[in-house]
Structure 1
């Protein structure tokens, strides 16, 4: 029987010092992978995640790199090549949603920063990883998208635009890399209970409003997203590429229509 086994795989998870990234890094380690923990701030938290992975008997180190800087990304992936001989799994998790502003009132530089991190950062990391994966004719990239690659979100045009773009980037890279045995997928979470959105789920009114948008009536836990990343990175998903898997409790299933139109 096929087992979810990533033993010997060398993985990089961006933004792995907290939230979904931390849960994913730990989950990949539980499945047998060695994991590099990328971070841009909160170095102590990143080092703690790397230590927890090593405590599981896997190799791990934390590395600072701003993914919106192509040079820093290249150096990070080169470090993996030097220390571990290459990369087998890349999880492009790092991302930001930016400050709420109507499109015609948005600050241009703030808008651009979201694109730089979410889209260019995903591209830079993928580009660096694919250089090795294509050569070794094996590898998996999982891009963290969002339900907002499909659902508009007033006040966050940069975020929705970046995630829609990540979806098409995923499809195009998958098409290009498939002949070389490399798979590229996206995973789109809905509402997840993480520190970044604590202000919403810790407020009873905000939480109630959010739950109404989710047919399953609850937020996801980070581990529920991380488990699906591990599945996509494993041979369980060996024939899957070029698509987005929505893990959203049904948020994209038009919850408001559950009781009629």
Structure 2
């Protein structure tokens, strides 16, 4: 099966590192024109753009704070000016925030996680759908987390935001489907990225983490990126309104493998 995204105009938010950068590169390798956003790492974003162009692809690096609706409007105007619109949106920008129990959390910090993860996803999806619905085509894919389903002590804002992204995905999919537009989410489990290096690079932390994963290994960013390519392509043209969990079996509750 030959999956191609040739000529598709793609925006990947938070595309300057980790899963986002892997997704941007994979989409470009499939033939898409890829714009990626960054907030604090312009050099990383530009390096990814150069790597894509070196392989013959087309790419842009755009600065944007997705939690700011005005900045998102400006971001999509840049997409319009560069490529005349958008065909695929990857809502990847996100943060987990500082660990704090619910009764100890600093509310402004708690709120910021919601603003980036949930409000940011909505702002970008809204702007994308304003363009996709009239053209009767397009795909919005939200990058969620296993914490749509699994509680995570100390990270109530993160878990709440990802659970909300799951329902946002379903609702927008229901609204957009009659117009030929699909909306999906992908929920990674433990993936080897810089953001969680302190866990997988520590023997004790890694041992504890692997107990939670039936496949007994951490996922790689490329495994998420390759599936994203499939989900936004015509290969998945009859799939919408669902979160696809990619977690090595983490949400299969491995603690129950030997009895209840």
Which bin holds the TM-score, normalised by the shorter protein? Answer: over 0.9
What does residue 5 of structure 2 align with? 6
Is residue 2:10 matched to residue 1:18? no
Q: How far apart in 2 are the matches of 1:96 and 1:67? A: 12
Describe the superposition over 1:24-54 as per-residue Cα deviations: whole angstroms up to 9, x where unpaired.
0000011110100110111000000111111
Is residue 2:238 matched to residue 1:230? no
Give 1:128 deviation, angstroms: 0.7
Give 1:56 deviation, angstroms: 2.0
Q: How far apart in 1 are the matches of 2:199 and 2:253? A: 21
CA contact (8 A) 1:74 1:128 kept: yes
What does residue 139 of structure 2 align with? 140
Q: How far apart in 2 are the matches of 1:181 and 1:51? A: 34
What does residue 189 of structure 1 align with? 188
What does residue 37 of structure 1 align with? 36
What does residue 99 of structure 2 align with? 100
Matches within 5 A, 1:200-239: 200-239=199-238
Describe the superposition over 1:193-230 as per-residue Cα deviations: whole angstroms up to 9, x where unpaired.
00000111111000000000000001100000001111
What does residue 54 of structure 2 align with? 55
Q: How far apart in 2 are the matches of 1:26 and 1:130? A: 24
3-state SS, counterpart of residue 171 of structure 1: helix
3-state SS, counterpart of residue 103 of structure 1: coil
Corresponding residue pairs, total: 260
With the length of structure 1 as denominator, give the TM-score of the two structures: 0.98
Give 1:150 deviation, angstroms: 0.3
What does residue 123 of structure 2 align with? 124
Q: How far apart in 2 are the matches of 1:52 and 1:130? A: 29
With the length of structure 2 as denominator, give the TM-score of the two structures: 0.99
In structure 2, stretches of 5+ residues that fail to align are none
What does residue 158 of structure 2 align with? 159
Give 1:168 deviation, angstroms: 0.4
Q: How far apart in 2 are the matches of 1:222 and 1:88? A: 23
After superposing on structure 2, the runs of 4+ consecutive aligned residues of structure 1 that deviate more than 6 Å are none
